[in-house]
Amino acid sequence: MSVRAKVFKAPELVTVQGKSIFLAGSIEMGSVEDWQTLLTAKLSHLPITIMNPRRAAWDGSWEQDISNPMFKQQVDWELDSQDRADVIALFFHPDTKAPISLLELGLYAASGKMIVCCPPGFYRRGNVQIVCDRFGVELVDTMEKLTERVIKKLEG
């Protein structure tokens, strides 16, 4: 097993080594910070597998329909990776709407894998708080706390 994190980005074929994490949450290409890269840097010393859905060759003009093979490949990769992950770190950036992230929260809240960061200012923070409370999902307010909790869960 590698002593450093191995990172896979959509749609790469994932080979899991050690514990694994999926980086779910807000992706607004070019309009908000690339939090996935920041978190990956803080996890890079761990012997884990990181699955990052931020696709370098994403094309925002793709029709978001099951008939589009590129779009379907992306969504299947994300769902398969979340199914395989030991931990799902979910970040709601307060400057985004993140409807897919809300969908992912609903899909995986009962899995026992999630740690959610939802800072004050996210437009549906109350909904996120209630879902996390109902399903016993750990909820934090800052990226620093998310990083700490993720490391603890991956090392545990």
The DSSP bridge pattern shows strands 114-117 and 87-91 to be parallel
14-48 in b/e form (b: 16+ CB < 10 A) is beeeebbbbbbbbbeeeeeeebbeebbebbeebeb
Q: Which residues contact 75 (CB under 8 A, 6 or more apart)?
A: none
Per-residue pLDDT at 31 exceeds 80: no
- Contact by Cβ (8 Å): 98, 92: yes
pLDDT tier at 57 (50, 70, 90 boundaries)? confident
What class has domain 6-53+73-155?
alpha beta
Question: Binning pLDDT at 50, 70 and 90, where does residue 61 land?
Answer: confident
